[in-house]
């Protein structure tokens, strides 16, 4: 039954607030996080081409009112939520550039065709996202194995990905690259250096008391793709974000030449993410980096 204009004034005011959507009926709206980014990639002196590739993406969902008979102010004209992703791929061997390029492009197409742009997180959604990250990594691994089957050493690449939605940060990782969080003037390694490392322990430390212990330097042989005796060991975890957090992704050439204290010093002295990434890469190049060096930096601002 439709109401005429006179009947509208008899509708209780609380009805306009959609009471069927109570506090427990839906995840809370995504916090409007502001993020700024920097990226720098430089070929090492031992390579004729840069075998690293990187990616920064902005994803979101929105609802825009095209036409309505509702009074002004009853619903928003436009509502939007968003999240951010960063990825870094470090190709190995003579076909390293092709391997890292294929790893990232496969990730993007998987996200386009099979992903869900989750920007509002509750526990079921978080678990779903982490499961999907595992599946995507498995698919990338299979793609590299298949594409590299005709090559002597195959197509092999490390791959580290972080994704932020509201105050949640997810990361997935295989190989020698690293993800760090810089919080309260302390640098914290999020990703494990090999399958034996405890990614969950590092993630717990990231949201609790930071440790000053230096992460052990290890030769990492795990990659996506390429010949090996088993499947890649994939680390997937999540941590909470705070206002002012800085997240750094770096390929192995940086962390072989700069220790955590040197990386932290740059992040303390320089505030702009673009300048931070440039300074870190330049330090590694001046230090004689034989391998390619790539650094991504994100700084997050969360309104109070």
Q: Give residue-wise pLDDT tens across range 99-116.
A: 999 999 999 999 999 988
Q: Is residue 129 part of a domain?
A: yes
- Least confident window among 17-21, 80-84, 205-209, 280-284: 205-209
Domain at 187, CATH number: 3.60.40.10
Distance of CA 135 to the CA centre of its chain: 16
Q: Is residue 210 part of a domain?
A: yes
> In this predicted model, which residue has the larger pLDDT, 266 or 19?
266
pLDDT at 219 over 70: no
- In this predicted structure, what is the pLDDT of residue 197? 53
* Under 8 Å between Cβ of 50 and 291: no
Q: Is residue 113 part of a domain?
A: yes
- Least confident window among 17-31, 45-59, 84-98, 150-164: 17-31
Secondary structure element (H or E) that encloses residue 42, with its range: strand 34-42
Instruction: Identify the DSSP state of 167.
Output: T
pTM of the model: 0.83
Q: Which pLDDT tens digit goes with each residue over 250-303?
A: 999 999 999 999 999 999 999 999 999 999 999 999 999 999 999 999 999 988
**Domain range for 121:** 34-60+76-301
Q: Is residue 15 part of a domain?
A: no
Return contacts of 228-232, CB within 8 angstroms, 24+ apart: 231/138, 231/141, 232/137, 232/141, 232/174
Cβ contacts of residue 121 below 8 Å, gap of 6+? 27, 30, 129, 165, 166, 168
Q: Is residue 86 part of a domain?
A: yes
Q: Is residue 198 part of a domain?
A: yes
Q: What confidence tier does 80 reach under pLDDT thresholds 50, 70, 90?
A: confident
- Mean pLDDT (the chain, rounded): 83
Separation between Cα atoms, residue 78 and residue 160, nearest integer Å: 34
Tell me the residue ranges of DSSP E strands in 104-225.
156-165, 168-174, 178-183, 186-189
Separation between Cα atoms, residue 120 and residue 83, nearest integer Å: 9
Cβ contacts of residue 255 below 8 Å, gap of 6+? 178, 217, 263
Mean predicted confidence (pLDDT) in 110-138: 89
Q: Is residue 70 part of a domain?
A: no
Q: Is residue 238 part of a domain?
A: yes
The total number of structural domains in the chain stands at 1
- Least confident window among 3-12, 17-26, 61-70: 3-12
Q: Which pLDDT tens digit goes with each residue over 51-77?
A: 999 999 999 888 899 999 999 888 888
């Amino acid at each position: 039954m439709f109401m005429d204009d006179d009947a509208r004034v008899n509708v209780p005011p609380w009805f306009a607030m959609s009471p069927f959507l109570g506090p427990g009926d839906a995840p809370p709206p995504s916090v409007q996080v502001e993020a700024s980014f920097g990226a720098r990639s430089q070929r090492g002196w031992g390579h004729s081409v840069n075998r690293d590739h990187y990616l920064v993406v902005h994803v979101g969902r929105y609802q825009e009112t095209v036409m309505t008979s509702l009074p002004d102010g009853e619903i928003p004209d436009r509502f939007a939520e968003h999240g951010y992703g960063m990825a870094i791929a470090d190709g190995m061997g003579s076909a390293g550039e092709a391997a890292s390029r294929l790893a990232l492009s496969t990730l993007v197409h998987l996200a386009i065709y099979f992903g869900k742009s989750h920007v509002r997180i509750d526990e079921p959604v978080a678990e779903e996202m982490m499961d999907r990250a595992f599946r995507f990594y498995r698919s990338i691994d299979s793609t590299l194995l298949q594409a590299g089957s005709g090559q002597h050493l195959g197509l092999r690449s490390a791959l580290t990905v972080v994704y932020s939605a509201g105050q949640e940060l997810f990361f997935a990782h295989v190989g020698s690259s690293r993800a760090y969080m810089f919080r309260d003037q302390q640098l914290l390694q999020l990703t494990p250096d090999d399958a034996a490392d405890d990614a969950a322990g590092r993630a717990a430390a990231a949201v609790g008391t930071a440790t000053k212990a230096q992460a052990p330097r290890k030769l990492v042989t795990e990659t996506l793709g390429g010949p090996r005796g088993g499947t890649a060991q994939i680390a997937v975890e999540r941590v909470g974000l705070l206002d002012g957090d800085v997240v750094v992704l770096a390929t192995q050439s940086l962390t072989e030449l700069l220790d955590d204290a040197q990386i932290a010093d740059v992040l303390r002295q320089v505030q702009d993410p673009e300048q931070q990434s440039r300074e870190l890469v330049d330090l590694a190049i001046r230090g004689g980096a034989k391998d390619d060096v790539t650094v991504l930096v994100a700084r997050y601002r969360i309104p109070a």
